[in-house]
Structure 1
Amino acid sequence: MDGVFAGFATIGLIIGLGILLAHLKVIDAAGQRTLSMLAFYVASPALLVTVLEDSDLSAVFSGNLVATVAAVLVAGLAYIAVAVVRGRDLGTTVIGTLCAAYVNAGNLGLPIAAYVLGDPALVAPVLLLQLLILQPLALTVLDAANSEHRLSVGAIVSRPLKNPITIGSAIGLGFALTGLELPVAIHDPLALVGGMAVPSMLIAYGVSLRLGPLPGRGVPASELALATGLKMVVQPLAAYLVGRFALGLDAEQLLAVTVLSALPTAQNVFVIASRYERGVLLARDAIFVSTLASVPVVVLITALIA
C-alpha cells in the first residue's frame, strides 16, 4: 500500500504548493494560465516523446487491454448519453467525458503499478490507449467545436497533425516502432523540458483551487456527481465484470485492470479544459473529488481482489 499513499501524497503536496503560491500572490490567474499553456504546448509534448520512445508496444496488446477499453467505453458513453439528454454543448461534453473516463495513469498509475501490483509495465495498455487514441480524438473534437467556421473532412482529419500533444505522441511512437533512439544532445534537453509537465499541471491546478470557487460550488452538484460517479464506480466495476466474466482474467490481471480503472481523473484534463476554455471548473472539481475518493476505492479493491 505504500505506493498508493506515496503517489497521492506527492500529488497533494505539489497541488498544495500551487495553493500557497496563489495565496501569497506569487502567481495570479494570468500566471496560472501561462503555466497551463506551457504544459500543453511545450512540456507535455516533450515528455511524450521521451516516454513513448522507450515504450514496449507489445504491452498494449496484452489480455488486459480489452477490459480497459470496455471500461473506458462504458463510462465515456454513459456520460455522453446523459450530456446529450441535458443539452450540453459539444466542448463541455468532451471535457466531461474525459473527467469520467481518463485516468491518472502517469502520476499515480506508474507508482501504483510498481508498488501495489508489482509490475510497472501493467500500466502500459491504459497509458498508451489514452495518449494515442483517446486524447488525440478528444483534442480533434475540441478543435472542431472551437472553430468559427464549419470544418471540412480534410480539415478535421488534419487537425491532430497540428496539435502539439498529438505530434509529441506520434514522434515518440515512431521511435518506439522503429527502434531508433534520439541523440543524447536532443534527448536530454527534451527530458529536462518534459520534466516541467507534471509540476506545471499540478501547480496550475492548485492555483485554480485557491483563486476560483471552492470545489463543489463551481458546477452543479448533479454534473459533478455524474462525472465522478462514473469515474470511481462505473469504470472500475465495468473493468472487473468484463475482465472476470467475459475474458476470464486471472486474479493478478483482474486486480490490475480494476485498480488502474479506479484511478482518479488525470490532471491534464484540467490543462486541456483550460486550453479550450470549456468545462474548466468541472474538470477542476472532478479531479479534486475523484482524487480524494480514489484512496479508499483503490484500498478496497486491493483488499477484496488480492
Structure 2
Amino acid sequence: MGGAAALEKLVPVLLAFGGGVLLARRKTVPAEASKAFSDYAFLFAVPCYLFGNIYAADLGALFDWRAIGGYAAAAALAVLAVVLGAAACGIREPRAVALRVMAGVQVNTAYFAVPVFITFFGTAAPIFPVLLFQVCVLSLVVIALMELGRAGDGGPGTRLSRALAASLATPLVLACNAGILLNLLSVHVPKVLLDGAAFVGDSASPVALFALGLHLGGAGLGVRDTTREEAALIAFKCLAFPLLAWAVCAGLFGVRGPWLAYLVLIAAMPTPQNLFIFAQRYDIGVDLSASVVVKSSVVSLLLLPLWLQTVAA
C-alpha cells in the first residue's frame, strides 16, 4: 500500500478526530464533554460492537495462538526493558515503575485501536485477543506494582484482588466474554438484538475519535516543555515497541501475513487514557501521565501512514 493510499485510509480518522479538536479549540463544544462521549464509547458502543462481532466470529481464526504468543513475548520483553530503564534512572518506587510500564507497553484499544482497525480493515476483531491479554496479564502486573506501593485498608493481596475484580468486571471485558461463551455454546441470539448491537456499535469508531479530539483540543500541546523522560516513553511506545513486536513475532514466532500487520499496528497504538486514571487513583506521576497520553496519541496518529505502508509492503 502506497503512502497516498494510506493517507486516504486515514481521512475518516482525521475527520472525526480533527472535528473534535476544532470544536474544542473554538469552544463550540466544551472539552469537558469529551468524558461523556468517551464514557458512551467505552461503556456502551464498543462493548456492543465487540459482542456482536465476537459472537459471529470464527474463534479458531480469531485466536491465532502463535500470533498472540509472539505479541505476549514482545510485551514481556518491553516490560523488562522499561523496568531496567527506570532502574537505571534511579526510579525504584513500585508505583512509579508501574506507571512507566503502563505508559510504554499498554495500548489504547477502545478509544484508538478500535476505530483505526475498523477504518483500515473493516473489523476490530483482531484486537480482542490482545485486549484480553492486556486486561488479564499486563493490567495485573501494573496493578500489582501499584498496590505494593500503596498504603490503604487491608493487605496488598486484598487490595490487588479488589482492583483485579473491578477491571475484569468492566463492560468491555464482560461483552467479550459473553460473545465468546455464547459463540462456543452455539446459543442462538435473536437477530433483532444483534442488529441493535451492530447499530450502536457502528457509532463507536467516530464517537471515540471525536471524544479524543475534544480531549486533546482542550488540553493543548506544549511541545517545548516535553521532558526527556516523556520523549523517551513516547519514542519507546510509538517506535521501539512496534519494532520489537515485529522482530519477535516475525523472527522468533514465524508470524506472517495479516496477523503480523495486525500485531505491529496494535503495538503502535498510543498509551491508553487509563494511564491518567491510574495516576490519579494511586497519586503518582499525574502530570507525566497526562502529557504522555496526549502526545503519544498525536505521534501515533502521525506515524500511522508509515506503519500501514510498512506492514503492508
When normalised by structure 2's length, the TM-score is 0.74
Letter in 2 for 1:180: V
The alignment-based identity, stated in percent, is 23
**Of 72, 79, 82, which aligns to 2:82?**
79
Which residue is equivalent to 1:246? 252
Deviations 1:113-161 (A, max 9, x none): 57xxxxx7xx855x12322120355666569769964461543453234
Which residue is equivalent to 1:228? 234
The answer to whether the Cα contact below 8 Å between 2:51 and 2:178 also exists between their aligned partners in 1 is yes
Deviations 1:236-264 (A, max 9, x none): 332333344433456x4785367435643
Which residue is equivalent to 1:293? 303
What displacement does 1:78 show?
2.5
Deviations 1:210-249 (A, max 9, x none): 211315357x332432233223432233233334443345
Q: Distance in 1 between matches of 2:75 and 2:41?
A: 25
Which residue is equivalent to 1:264? 269
**For the structure 1 residues 190 and 111, does the alpha-carbon distance in structure 2 shift closer, same or farther, using more than 3 Å as the test?**
closer
Query: Does 1:20 find its partner at 2:28?
Result: no
What displacement does 1:17 show?
0.8
Query: Does 1:67 find its partner at 2:73?
Result: no
Which residue is equivalent to 1:131? 131
Which residue is equivalent to 2:283? none
The answer to whether the Cα contact below 8 Å between 1:14 and 1:199 also exists between their aligned partners in 2 is yes
How many equivalent pairs are there?
A: 289
Which residue is equivalent to 1:117? none
Q: What pairs up with 1:21-60 in 2 under 5 angstroms?
A: 21-59=23-61, 60=63
Q: Distance in 2 between matches of 1:263 and 1:240?
A: 10
Letter in 2 for 1:107: P
Q: Which moved more, 1:26-35 or 1:228-237?
A: 228-237
Letter in 1 for 2:74: A
The answer to whether the Cα contact below 8 Å between 1:49 and 1:172 also exists between their aligned partners in 2 is yes
What displacement does 1:202 show?
0.9
Gaps of 5+ in 2: 281-285
Q: Distance in 2 between matches of 1:110 and 1:199?
A: 10
**For the structure 1 residues 77 and 13, does the alpha-carbon distance in structure 2 shift closer, same or farther, using more than 3 Å as the test?**
farther
The answer to whether the Cα contact below 8 Å between 1:262 and 1:297 also exists between their aligned partners in 2 is no
The answer to whether the Cα contact below 8 Å between 1:19 and 1:207 also exists between their aligned partners in 2 is yes
Deviations 1:253-305 (A, max 9, x none): 78536743564327xx23x3465556233212101112212322443454xxx
Letter in 1 for 2:245: A
Deviations 1:4-52 (A, max 9, x none): 3333222111111101221332321321121122222222222221222
Gaps of 5+ in 1: 115-119
Letter in 1 for 2:59: L
Q: Which moved more, 1:3-12 or 1:14-23?
A: 3-12
Q: Distance in 2 between matches of 1:161 and 1:244?
A: 31
**For the structure 1 residues 200 and 82, does the alpha-carbon distance in structure 2 shift closer, same or farther, using more than 3 Å as the test?**
farther
**For the structure 1 residues 106 and 44, does the alpha-carbon distance in structure 2 shift closer, same or farther, using more than 3 Å as the test?**
closer
**Of 205, 210, 234, which aligns to 1:203?**
210
Letter in 1 for 2:29: I
**For the structure 1 residues 170 and 35, does the alpha-carbon distance in structure 2 shift closer, same or farther, using more than 3 Å as the test?**
same
**For the structure 1 residues 76 and 154, does the alpha-carbon distance in structure 2 shift closer, same or farther, using more than 3 Å as the test?**
closer
Deviations 1:177-224 (A, max 9, x none): 223342123222222222332222211111122211315357x33243
